[in-house]
Structures are given as structure tokens and as C-alpha cells.
Amino acid sequence: DTAVSQTPKYLVTQMGNDKSIKCEQNLGHDTMYWYKQDSKKFLKIMFSYNNKELIINETVPNRFSPKSPDKAHLNLHINSLELGDSAVYFCASSRTWTGPVEAFFGQGTRLTVV
């Protein structure tokens, strides 16, 4: 009964590969997000989707392509992986996209590019 679940938890891959991270929430929330947490623990938003529609794209390289097949899922596909993409990627969801809402995070995916 995990609220926000993302897979895989760990991902080790070579430079130049393409990989995907999946995220699902069972909270009935309308809004989902992808955050990147670098080695210094800095949390930075990448994308935000509301009801399957992209509402935020924070100057992320177009090698990163989010896909939301329905409002309960938000997947992240990364093409041509680079060393600098190594980080922990967190999926999150919130009830709505306006107002002071609480976000519920997934457990994170630690991506290591070698």
C-alpha cells in the first residue's frame, strides 16, 4: 500500500545508454513531479504534471523526457546518459498543483552513470 512508488531503486549504467524510471501513486492525486537530488543533497524540480499535462519544465536538457500515461503514473526516460546525470531522482505527488499542498515523495532512484 505504498503511496508513491518508483522503480528501480538503484540503476547503474554506462554513458550513452538510454534508461527509464517509473513512478506510480495510489493517492488519487492530480499532480506529479520529478526532482533531482545531487551529491550535495540539493533538491531541484525537473518536471511537474497535472492530470497528465506538463505544467513545469525547469530548463532540463531535452535528453530527459517525462511521460504521463494517466494521472497516477509519471515515468522519466533519459537518453544518451552522461556522467553528470548521476544523482538520486525522486518522484512526488500532491493533491493539486495550487495552494500550500504537501508533497509525498517516492523512495528515490539512485542513478549512477559510469
Partner 1 sequence: GENVEQHPSTLSVQEGDSAVIKCTYSDSASNYFPWYKQELGKRPQLIIDIRSNVGEKKDQRIAVTLNKTAKHFSLHITETQPEDSAVYFCAASRDLGFQKLVFGTGTRLLVSP
Binding site for partner 1 (CB under 8 A): 4, 31, 33, 40-45, 48, 55-56, 90, 92, 94, 96-103, 105-108
Of residues 33 and 113, the one with the C-beta less far from partner 1: 33
Q: How far is the CB of 76 from partner 1 (least distance, A)?
A: 15
> Residue 26 Cβ, how far from partner 1 at the closest point, in Å?
15
Q: How far is the C-alpha of 92 from the C-alpha of 66, rounded, in Å?
A: 13
Instruction: Give the number of residues written for the chain.
Output: 114
Instruction: Name the H helices within the chain.
Output: none
**In the complex with partner 1, which residue's Cβ is closer, 79 or 96?**
96
Residue 101 DSSP class? P
Q: Which C-beta is closer to partner 1: that of 13 or that of 57?
A: 57
Cβ partners under 8 Å of residue 63, min gap 6 = 78, 79, 80, 81, 82
SS3 at position 103: coil
User: Among residues 13 and 107, whose Cβ is nearest to partner 1?
Assistant: 107
Cβ neighbours around 89 below 10 Å, total = 22
